[in-house]
């Protein structure tokens, strides 16, 4: 199936509009802090959430609202995570009520999300004041403002849109997300919202999302911290006119392929925009005994602070790769392991059969100075493979998080 990148993001599919405004949650009036996504028609909906035992109040509300597999709008604020607040549920439900009233839809058909500082007092006042403008500015080109409004320490917007076909009918899918720090998902991403005009049942939508997450967002790590508010939600309104996907088969496979394509694009953007990061690290593992082993090893290397620091310094310290492979929760014969580093500047082989081989440090330095680096690991134990996405560890990560709250 051909998947084509197109302009826009969550407003690209038929029937969806979006907006983003500054309502006053953030003191900086130049930063938007409230986003809205709206579908003309009710949608099949699915979501996945953080596995952190400390969960933001919006997650608890969403789990209740999405129990019937339906939604029609998404409201999200930045600047305050609405987590560990005594009135958190009241705030989250209040946001749904405000949107429901303004759009004349059932408040339980609203997905609510928040991101920002944990444990800060929160009030509905700025949100209530911002809702009229937010609704008024809903537009097909409003997705860029929505994308901006959910950012915290992000330096780039995470947005993508594609077209694909279901049953010979063109469908579109778009996504926005935020995520720069506190990223070590164990279910999904920090905050991600996907829209599509394809038609699919809620049960199959949930199945597609859960499977896609395992190969995309769950393979990203910036700093090893799993957030309290991680949520990714998908809304499908069926307005493309494509046949309803109500059973597994070619159409379901095509939908899953498009969803994973979109989610992988966002996952790479998150890793690339890790707090303080200067390089995207793509760890590619092949030859594992099974997929679980491949994923475990790829993530272990991607999460190694020592390895990440070496990549910041463009130091081809392959021993740190072997070390991370060795403590991964996966069977591996270290005497078969080969490691190479590659970028657009070239490729350098540094390890074969679990031992170092001669290589040019000068060439290695050139390869590792690029902005995107592939870490190629061949295990020789089987045929399974996996890819993880991460970034280097820099001085700026500590600077950003040293005074994040203040």
Phi, psi of 5 (to 5 degrees): -70, 135
Please indicate whether residue 189 is annotated as part of the active site: yes
- In 25-145, beta strands by DSSP E: 34-49, 70-80, 110-117
User: Which one from 189, 196, 228, 260 is the annotated catalytic residue?
Assistant: 189
CB 385 within 8 A of CB 285: yes
DSSP lists the bridge partners of residue 39 as 16
CB 24 within 8 A of CB 203: no
* Closest to 23 measured CA to CA, from 112, 84, 118, 95: 95
The three-class DSSP label of residue 257 is helix
* Closest to 78 measured CA to CA, from 229, 265, 235: 229
Q: Which two tokens stand for residue 208?
A: 């597609």
CB 57 within 8 A of CB 83: yes
* Closest to 76 measured CA to CA, from 40, 130, 27: 130
Tell me the catalytic residues. 189
């Amino acid at each position: 199936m051909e998947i084509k990148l197109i302009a826009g993001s969550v407003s690209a599919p038929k029937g969806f509009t979006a907006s983003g405004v500054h309502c006053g949650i953030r003191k900086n009036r130049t930063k938007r802090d409230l986003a809205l996504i709206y579908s003309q028609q009710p949608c099949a909906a699915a979501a996945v959430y953080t596995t952190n035992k400390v969960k933001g109040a919006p997650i608890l509300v969403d789990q209740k609202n999405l129990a019937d597999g339906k939604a029609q709008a998404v409201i999200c604020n930045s600047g305050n995570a609405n987590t560990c607040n005594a009135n958190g549920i009241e705030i989250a439900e209040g946001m749904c009520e405000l949107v429901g009233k303004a759009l004349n839809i059932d408040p339980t058909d609203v997905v609510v999300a928040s991101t920002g500082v944990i444990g800060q007092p929160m009030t509905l006042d700025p949100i209530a004041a911002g809702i009229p403008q937010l609704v008024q500015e809903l537009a097909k080109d409003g997705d860029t403002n929505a994308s901006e409004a959910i950012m915290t320490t992000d330096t780039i917007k995470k947005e993508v849109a594609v077209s694909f076909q279901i049953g010979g009918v063109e469908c579109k899918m778009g996504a926005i997300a935020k995520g720069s720090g506190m990223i070590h998902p164990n279910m999904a991403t920090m905050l991600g919202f996907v829209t599509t005009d394809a038609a699919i049942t809620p049960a199959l939508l949930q199945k597609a999302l859960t499977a896609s997450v395992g190969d995309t967002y769950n393979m990203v790590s910036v700093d090893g911290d799993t957030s309290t508010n991680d949520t990714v939600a998908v809304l499908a309104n069926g307005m493309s006119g494509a046949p309803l996907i109500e059973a597994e088969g070619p159409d379901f496979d095509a939908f899953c392929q498009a969803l994973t394509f979109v989610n992988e694009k966002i996952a790479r953007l998150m890793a690339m925009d890790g707090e303080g990061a200067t390089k995207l690290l793509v760890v590619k593992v092949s030859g594992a005994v099974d997929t679980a082993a491949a994923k475990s090893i790829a993530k272990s290397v991607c999460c190694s602070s020592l390895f990440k620091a070496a990549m910041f310094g463009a130091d081809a310290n392959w021993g740190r790769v072997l070390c991370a492979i060795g403590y991964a929760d996966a069977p591996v014969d270290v005497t078969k392991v080969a490691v190479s580093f590659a970028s657009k500047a070239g490729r350098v082989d540094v390890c074969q059969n679990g031992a170092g081989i001669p290589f040019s440090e000068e060439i290695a330095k050139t390869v590792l100075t690029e902005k995107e680096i592939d870490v190629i690991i061949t295990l020789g134990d089987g045929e399974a493979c996996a890819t993880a996405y991460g970034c280097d560890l820099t001085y700026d990560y500590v600077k950003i998080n040293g005074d994040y709250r203040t």
